Amino acid sequence: MALRTVSALKRRLGGAGLGLLRSGQISSAAGRSGAGRARAGRGRGVAWTRPRLGEEQLGPTCPVGPTWESVSRPSSTDRKCLGRAGNFLPCAAQHRLEKTPSYIDYPATARRSFSNHRVIVDMDQSLGVATIKIKNPPVNSLSLELLTEFLIGWEKLENDKSCKGVILTSNYPKIFSAGLDILEMCGKNAAHYTEYWKAVQELWLKLYMSNMVVIAAINGSSPAGGCLLALTSDYRVMADNPKYTIGLNETLLGIVAPFWFKDNLVNTIGNRASEQALQLGLLFSPAEALKIGLVDQLVPEDKVQSTALSVMSQWLKIPDHARQLTKTMMRKPTADLLLKQREADIDNFVRFISRDGIQKSLHMYLKALKERKE
Ligand SMILES: CCCCCCCCCCC/C=C/C(=O)SCCNC(=O)CCNC(=O)[C@H](O)C(C)(C)COP(=O)(O)OP(=O)(O)OC[C@H]1O[C@@H](n2cnc3c(N)ncnc32)[C@H](O)[C@@H]1OP(=O)(O)O
């Protein structure tokens, strides 16, 4: 039976890291995003010694950096443990989750892998670099299940002291990601749309504000949400194949890119180019994408992964704390805009996507996609 909700997935994956979370909230327990990085205790810019596994640090004064406090809106119970982007977990739950066994608890060897159904994570411990391969056939659409599993994998990496960088790529050359799963936004109820949008927000916040170096190895087409995923990274290497396209093409589906998609794009390619790209729903060839700065480097298809790795090694030579603080300085104002109005953004999405006219547009777009093949 298909699992349609985050809560159902959490139950199925119980013990994989999300079992303690409240329904519908996907939160990192020890995320290093935002000020949470202070907990990582490995020269991430704040003098703080990470508690060893088994050491409880419960109670009202959880020593987590305060940077995000002003922008998240937790309940009074949850206010015990603030400090991480979008993290509403009570402190005790966060620390219990930190103790969740995972591969990082075992003695280090050079390589470790873990995977669930839709995400493969390969960690090279000697380099401190993990590769996340998205594996959601046929086109790596960002379904609720994929988003949930991705967040679980991401959380494990955020908790892994040795992981300093992540390469995002696709298990299927030709398609990096087809973007948000249109089926998640069609013919469902408001509760489903809410849960889905929370997961989309959560993934964006986690990736965009991660303290790890994130490099996208774009080995195929990357429309809409796929492009957004790539935009969260610090550097984008794309396969130089003119058949591939990348861009925020939402208007072609009759929908509108939310403001934070837009902000992420504006921060990358500038206001004028974004205005045109967003209104026209432009999908760029790799050469065009390079020209406007949507991607940083084009390489032959078979060099995407190795180039991403060599770029990663350059980025990892920069003193970590200085790079992280700079990244936060550059990105936090953008992330804060969403954090300040997360609930309103969910309401907007649910209202917008539930409209008859929008549902009709999405159905027609899906139909056209299918008919293209016939
Ligand atoms: C006032 C303001 C308020 C704002 C509120 C917010 C508003 C909503 C914001 C929503 C933002 C949305 C972001 C998105 O990401 S929407 C998704 C956009 N994606 C696309 O347009 C990509 C569509 N797909 C393609 O172009 C091609 O499939 C692709 C190039 C990726 C691959 O081509 P290929 O030929 O290899 O494969 P097929 O086209 O044959 O596809 C195979 C099957 O997969 C289905 N498919 C494709 N993409 C999706 C998708 N994104 N979601 C679900 N399903 C998808 C396709 O239909 C085929 O299915 P069948 O095998 O059953 O035919």
DSSP secondary structure string for all residues of 83-130: -STT----HHHHHHHHT---GGGSPP-SEEEEE-SSEEEEEETTTTEE
**Does the pLDDT value for residue 104 go beyond 80?**
no
Instruction: Express each pLDDT in 31-53 by its tens digit.
Output: 444 433 333 333 332 222 222 22
Q: How far apart are CA 165 and CA 156, in angstroms?
A: 13
Beta strand 174-175 pairing with 220-223:
parallel
Helix (H, G, I), strand (E, B) or coil at 284: strand
Band the pLDDT of 126: cuts 50, 70, 90.
Answer: very high
Band the pLDDT of 109: cuts 50, 70, 90.
Answer: low
Band the pLDDT of 10: cuts 50, 70, 90.
Answer: very low
Q: How confident is the model at residue 17, as a pLDDT?
A: 34
Per the model's pLDDT, the better-predicted residue between 124 and 23 turns out to be 124
**Does the pLDDT value for residue 80 go beyond 70?**
no
Q: How confident is the model at residue 116, as a pLDDT?
A: 84
Query: What is the pTM for the complete model shown?
Result: 0.79
**Does the pLDDT value for residue 63 go beyond 60?**
no
In the predicted model, what is the mean pLDDT of residues 350-360?
98
From 118, 134, 139, 246, mutation site for ligand 1 pocket: most ligand atoms within 8 A of C-beta: 139
Structural domain count of the chain = 1
Asked, for residue 74, whether it belongs to a domain, the answer is no
Provide ipTM, 2 decimals. Answer: 0.99
The least confident of 13-17, 212-216, 224-228 is 13-17
Distance 254 CA to ligand 1 centre (A): 13
Asked, for residue 123, whether it belongs to a domain, the answer is yes
Asked, for residue 36, whether it belongs to a domain, the answer is no
Asked, for residue 22, whether it belongs to a domain, the answer is no
Per the model's pLDDT, the better-predicted residue between 211 and 13 turns out to be 211
182 lines ligand 1 (CB under 6 A): yes
Instruction: Express each pLDDT in 127-149 by its tens digit.
Output: 999 999 999 999 999 999 999 99
Asked, for residue 331, whether it belongs to a domain, the answer is yes
**Does the pLDDT value for residue 55 go beyond 90?**
no
* Residue 185, domain CATH: 3.90.226.10
223 lines ligand 1 (CB under 6 A): yes
Ligand 1 nearest-atom number relative to CA 249: 21
β-pair partners for 221: 175
Sign (positive or negative) of CA dihedral 367, 361, 137, 176? positive
Q: What percent of the chain has pLDDT over 70?
A: 71
Residue whose Cα lies nearest atom 59 of ligand 1: it is: 370
Q: How confident is the model at residue 48, as a pLDDT?
A: 22
**Does the pLDDT value for residue 56 go beyond 90?**
no
Asked, for residue 258, whether it belongs to a domain, the answer is yes
Asked, for residue 78, whether it belongs to a domain, the answer is no
Helix (H, G, I), strand (E, B) or coil at 236: strand
Return the active site residues: 180, 225, 249-250
Ligand 1 nearest-atom number relative to CA 182: 52
**Does the pLDDT value for residue 349 go beyond 50?**
yes
In the predicted model, what is the mean pLDDT of residues 290-304?
98
Band the pLDDT of 114: cuts 50, 70, 90.
Answer: confident
Across the chain, mean pLDDT equals: 78
Q: C-alpha distances in angstroms, 25 versus 5, 178, 195, 210?
A: 11, 24, 8, 18
**Does the pLDDT value for residue 118 go beyond 90?**
yes
- Tell me the residue range of the domain where 236 lies: 111-372
Asked, for residue 83, whether it belongs to a domain, the answer is no
In the predicted model, what is the mean pLDDT of residues 14-25?
32
220 lines ligand 1 (CB under 6 A): no
The least confident of 86-95, 201-210, 335-344 is 86-95
